[in-house]
Amino acid sequence: MSINSEDDSGHPINIYQTRQKVKKSLRLAIWDGGAYAAMLGLTQNYITPFALTLQATAMQIGLLTSVPGFTIAFSQLAAPGLAERAGNRKRMILPAVLTHALLWLPVFLLPYFFTASGAWWLIALITLSSVADALANPAWGSMMADLVHEDLRGRYFSFRGRIAGVITLVCSFIAGGMLQLFTGNVFIGFGVIFGGAMLSRLLSLYFLSRMYEPPVARERENAPSVFQIVKNLGRSNLGRFTLYVSLIYFGTMISGPFFSVFMLRDLHFSYVTYTIIATASAISILIFLPFWGRRADRAGNMKIVRITTCLMPFVPLLWLVSANPVYLVAANVFSGFVWSGFNLATINFVYDASEPGSRTKQIAVFNSIVWLAICIGALIGGFLIPRLPELLGYEMRTLFTVSGVVRGLVVILVLRAIVEVRRVPDASFFGVLFNRQKTTKKR
């Protein structure tokens, strides 16, 4: 016997059928995440090495992150309006994902047609690809927030992330092995991994096309526009959180794009050694996502953000100690521990703190400000490298120190201005880590 209800527009809803659609969609979202993770594993650690193979300079490496970041930042602000014109969120998501998939094809062909200016063409193509991917994100985030109940988000997204992490790890090793196999003609290796990335994203498109989209909550009449949300960032808890996360990413990206350069250009590591060190972080994320997911659901996402950002200044500073590959693997394990908790809790906090009717707009603003901070940080990093004195033998280590100091200052100056939005138990730093909480609750 079916039980019926009505949505915000007065249309009848069969609750049992809706629950079945939601369950099926959550399974499809895991498959989508796996396919997307395959694309990431094949590409995320290898765009910079590809650029170096195309004779990119340090400034071009910085531009490879910053230019896409600028375009993503501003295109995000247009995403809610495009979603409204499309009529529903999936009509926005699917064309953007298809475009993202197909743009890997010219990247695959790049070395054979644009040998003289390949680095500049790579920047242009990665920019277009990143924008297409990013345009789908606010609508996708809004849809997933409607599909996953707030009390289950930590466990669900950590489970989804763990599966994605396994696939990312495996595909990253495959990509590294391909590059090592084709050392004599490395462009063939890059062609194989970028072709695989395109096929993986097309598979992701298929799973997304079969997902159920819940009805969008009705936006209140006086809901702010995208530009009003941006203008009043400092006046709301979510706005202050957006600024805090953006500043953390700004400090991170001062050095973030250049760890690959440090390993391949300065330390002269092989692709195999580079891959092992780079994927150590992915293994760590894989291990610790369930750890953070359980604690985020019980202690609240803001508590996890506080813990991980207090540890974050140490991530780049660990690279000052030694250039031993075994040590750097351990440093990246610590990095994965910190970033797994931060990334999981950050997006779940945005889902918790945003209003259902305006969630697409608020996610778009969050993404836009974060990406603006990312690209400015990467530009500053690229500008600083040739102008910094050596520290312990390398300019890069000076850059890592600057990044760690900036992250620490952000934590000290901004963190206290943000509060949790859910009712959660009181818990100390060690209480969260060891899963011990008081019974008293607070907002």
Looking at residue 264, which CATH number applies to its domain?
1.20.1250.20
- Reading phi first (left if > 0) and then psi (alpha if -120 to 50, else beta), residue 149 is in beta
Give which of 250, 33, 28, 39 is closest to 129, Cα–Cα.
39
Q: Does 372 reside within a domain?
A: yes
Q: Does residue 243 fall inside a structural domain?
A: yes
**pLDDT for the residue 441:** 43
Give the pLDDT of residue 436.
Answer: 58
Task: Return the beta strands (E) in 188-232 as ranges.
Answer: none
CA 116 to CA 94: how far, in whole Å? 35
Query: Is residue 9 included in any domain, yes or no?
Result: no
Residue 264 in tokens: 């391949």
The confidence score (pLDDT) of residue 424 equals: 65
Per the domain annotation, does 410 fall within a domain?
yes
Is 219 a member of any domain?
A: no
Looking at the 3D structure of the chain, how many domains does it have? Answer: 1
For the chain, residues with pLDDT lower than 70 are 1-16, 86-87, 115, 217-223, 424-443
Range of the domain at 81: 18-214+224-442
* Residue 440: per-residue pLDDT: 41
In a domain, 141, yes or no: yes
* Helices and strands in the chain, H and E counts: 18, 4
CA distance 177 to 105: 21
Q: Is residue 11 part of a domain?
A: no
Q: Is the pTM of this model over 0.85?
A: no
**Residue 306 to residue 191: CA distance in whole angstroms:** 41
CA–CA gap between residue 180 and residue 344 (Å, rounded): 33
The answer to whether residue 248 sits within a structural domain is yes
